[in-house]
Chain A
Amino acid sequence: MNREGTTGKLRKVEGFDVFNVIFLLFLALIVIIPFYYTIVRSFLTQQEFIMNGTTLLPRQPTLGNYRDIFVGTGMMRAFFNSVLYTVLGTAFSMFLATTLAYGLSKKNYPGRALFQNMIIFTMYFGGGVVPFFLLIKDLGLYGNRFAVVIALAFNAFNMIILRNFFEALPPDLEEAAMLDGASAVRIFWQIVLPLMKPALATVTLYFVVDRWNEWFWSNLVLIDSKMWPMQLELRQILWTSSQMAADVPAEIGRRTYAEGMKAAAVIVTMLPIMCVYPFLQKYFAKGVMIGAIKS
Chain B
Amino acid sequence: MSKRFLSLALTLVMVLSLALAAVPALAEENPYAEHLSFTVFTIDGADDMFDWPLVKQAMEKFNFDFNIHLVAWDSWDESTRTLAYTQSLPEVIAWYNLNKDEYLEWVEEDVFKALPDDMSAYPNLQRLIDTYTCFNEFRVDGKLYAFPKIKNSNPVNLYTTYMFAYRRDWAREMGYDFAPVQTLTYDEFLAYLRDVKAKDPGHMGDKLVPLDLDNGGNHWALLAQQWNQRIGSFDIVDGQYVWGAQNESSLEAIKQIKTMYDEGLLAMDSYNDSNNAGRERFLAGRSAVLYGNLGATILQNTARTLATNIEGFQEEDLGIICLETPDGTYHVSQIDEWWGAFAFANNCRDEVMERWLAVGNWLLDEEQVETYAYGVRGEDWDKDENGNVVLHYTDEDISATGSKYYIAQERAFQKYFILEGLEVYLPGNPAYSSYIINDLFTTNMKTWESNASFAATDYNLSNTKNQDFYSFRSAVINDVKNIVIQAVISDDPAAVWNSFVEEHAEEGAKIAAALTEEFLK
Contacts and interface: CB of A to CB of B under 8 A. Distances in A.
B73 A247 contact: no
A47 B39 CA distance: 42
Contacts of A253: 301, 408
A282 interface: no
Contacts of A51: 207, 284-286
B297 A247 contact: yes
Contact of B431 (A50, A134, A246, A250): A250
A193 interface: no
A125 interface: no
A224 B46 CA distance: 11
Which of B68, B73, B405 is most buried by chain A, counting CB atoms within 10 A of its CB? Answer: B73
A229 to B, nearest CB: 11
Given A50-B286, A133-B88, A248-B301, 10 more contacts: A50-B284, A129-B78, A137-B88, A215-B72, A219-B72, A223-B69, A250-B301, A251-B395, A251-B431, A252-B408
Interface in B396-413: 398-401, 405, 407-408, 411
A249 interface: yes
B406 to A, nearest CB: 11
A235 interface: yes
A232 B72 CA distance: 7
A270 to B, nearest CB: 20
A166 to B, nearest CB: 37
Contacts of A215: 72, 75
A223 B297 contact: no
B457 interface: no
B86 A130 contact: yes
Contacts of B39: 223
Contacts, number: 107
A269 B434 CA distance: 44
Which of A142, A245, A252 is most buried by chain B, counting CB atoms within 10 A of its CB? Answer: A252
Interface string B366-410: 000000000000000000000000000001001111000101100
A195 interface: no
B432 interface: yes
Nearest to B281: A50
Contacts of A71: 400-401
Nearest to A48: B284
20 contacts: A46-B280, A47-B284, A51-B284, A51-B286, A71-B400, A129-B82, A133-B83, A216-B78, A220-B75, A224-B67, A245-B301, A247-B420, A248-B301, A248-B408, A249-B431, A250-B300, A250-B301, A250-B431, A251-B304, A253-B301
Given A71-B400, A223-B69, A133 B45 contact: no
Contacts of B401: 71-72
Contacts of B285: 51
Contacts of B395: 251-252
Interface in A65-107: 68, 71-72, 74
A142 B90 CA distance: 12
B70 interface: yes
Interface string B61-97: 0000001111111110011001101101000000000
A220 B408 contact: no
Contact of B405 (A72, A216, A250): A72
Contacts of B82: 129-130, 133, 220
A54 interface: no
Contact of A72 (B286, B305, B400): B400
A20 interface: no
A252 B398 contact: yes
Interface residues on A, range: 35 or more
User: A-side binding surface: helix, strand, loop or mixed?
Assistant: helix
Contacts of A247: 297, 411, 420-421
Interface in B34-48: 39, 43, 45, 47
A115 interface: no
B106 to A, nearest CB: 14
A239 interface: yes
A142 B298 CA distance: 40
B43 A239 contact: yes
Interface string A201-235: 00000000000000110011001111010001001
A36 to B, nearest CB: 20
A104 B399 CA distance: 59
A264 to B, nearest CB: 15
B86 A137 contact: yes
Contact of B280 (A50, A142, A223, A232): A50
B272 interface: no
Interface in A20-44: none
Contacts of B45: 225
Interface in A242-270: 242, 245-254, 258
B309 interface: yes
Contacts of B421: 247
Nearest to B307: A250
A249 B300 contact: yes
A50 B286 CA distance: 8
Nearest to B74: A235
B41 to A, nearest CB: 9
Interface string A152-176: 0000000000000000000000000
A249 B411 CA distance: 11
Contact of A239 (B73, B83, B88, B407): B73
Contacts of A236: 70, 72-73
A70 to B, nearest CB: 10
Contacts of A250: 300-301, 303-305, 431
A134 B470 CA distance: 32
B76 to A, nearest CB: 9
